[in-house]
Amino acid sequence: MSAKVETSIWLALKARVESLPLGLPIAWPGQTFEVPHSNGVPSPYLRCGRVSVAPVRMMVADGMPHTRTGSLIVTLVHPLGQDVSVYDQMAASIAEHFKDGTPMGFGAVCVTVTSYPHVQEGYEQDGWWTVPVRIPWRTFA
């Protein structure tokens, strides 16, 4: 059985996240995750999530492809203690990995980053500095 469109979109996005050069553990949606530690001290990690928008019909005929859009949210979660520029630099590396025009595919579905990702303002949460990076995508499937 081949992957459905929604599954193919997710697998294309996930494969690109897995190829990030930061080498940090990733907390995936729907999966259990233990915060990593090194010598008893919490270590940084990435949290991955997604937001999709309802498909938009582009053709009159039934059963034809639709325009599908959404955002992949890759969040840097780092223990406090660094200058904010350190966190921003790491988040910028995530954004650069998904620069506008980046194609990602799975099966017959090609997902494209539609504009440069947005590194959002970081914030403190329970002793961690959290920096979301919003990556907009689109596909016609």
CATH number for the domain spanning 131: value is 3.30.2000.20
Decide if 109 contacts 5 (C-beta within 8 A).
yes
For 4: left if phi > 0, alpha if psi spans -120 to 50, otherwise beta; the answer is: beta
SS3 (DSSP) at 98: coil
Q: Provide the number of structural domains found in the chain.
A: 1
Q: What is the pLDDT of residues 42-72, one digit of tens each?
A: 999 999 999 988 888 877 778 778 899 999 9
Identify the bridge partners of residue 88 per DSSP, sorted by sequence position: none
Those residues of the chain that have pLDDT short of 50 are none
pLDDT of residue 65: 82
Decide if 138 contacts 106 (C-beta within 8 A).
no
pLDDT of residue 96: 98
Taking the model in full, what pTM does it have? 0.92
Print the domain residue range for 81.
Answer: 5-140
Identify the bridge partners of residue 118 per DSSP, sorted by sequence position: 134
